[in-house]
Amino acid sequence: SQTIHQWPATLVQPVGSPLSLECTVEGTSNPNLYWYRQAAGRGLQLLFYSVGIGQISSEVPQNLSASRPQDRQFILSSKKLLLSDSGFYLCAWNTGDGNQPQHFGDGTRLSIL
């Protein structure tokens, strides 16, 4: 069966520090991968998606970046975190076209101090 792993579960970082969140998927090949951010009480905001290794599409201009060094690995990074980067970050995957249901990790709660 397919599984998705996302870590860490919680993270507290000072303003201006770097960030690296990792997401890996097992049990499938060539998945579409997504990074979302969710503010408290709000819906999910798509940050990045990838349909293949090295292929990254950015949806929201910001100081975050994403990379896909391997088929089932998706990394969210920042060189310098801002207070506004606080939130709940979710990684998801699906296969096929955009209609297919997405499967989510358990998320990372990021707090910027």
Partner 1 sequence: LAKTTQPISMDSYEGQEVNITCSHNNIATNDYITWYQQFPSQGPRFIIQGYKTKVTNEVASLFIPADRKSSTLSLPRVSLSDTAVYYCLVGGSDSNYQLIWGAGTKLIIKP
**Between residues 14 and 97, which has the closer beta carbon with respect to partner 1?**
97
For residues 73 and 5, the answer to whether their CB atoms sit within 8 Å is no
Looking at residues 26 to 65 of the shown chain, list those that interact with partner 1 (rule: CB under 8 A).
32, 34, 36, 41-46, 49, 51, 57, 59
Does 92 participate in binding partner 1 (rule CB under 8 A)? yes
Q: Please report the sign of the dihedral spanned by the C-alpha atoms of residue 70, residue 73, residue 54, residue 33.
A: positive
Alpha-carbon distance 75 to 67, whole Å? 5
Among candidate residues 108, 85, 70, the one with its CA nearest the CA of residue 18: 85
Pick the stretch among 14-22, 63-71, 73-81, 92-100 that binds partner 1 (CB under 8 A): 92-100
Q: What is the dihedral of CA 25, 83, 57, 36, to 10 degrees?
A: 40
Taking the complex as a whole, the smallest distance from the CB of residue 59 to partner 1 amounts, in Å, to 6
- Per CB under 8 A, residues contacting partner 1 are 32, 34, 36, 41-46, 49, 51, 57, 59, 88, 90, 92, 97-107, 109
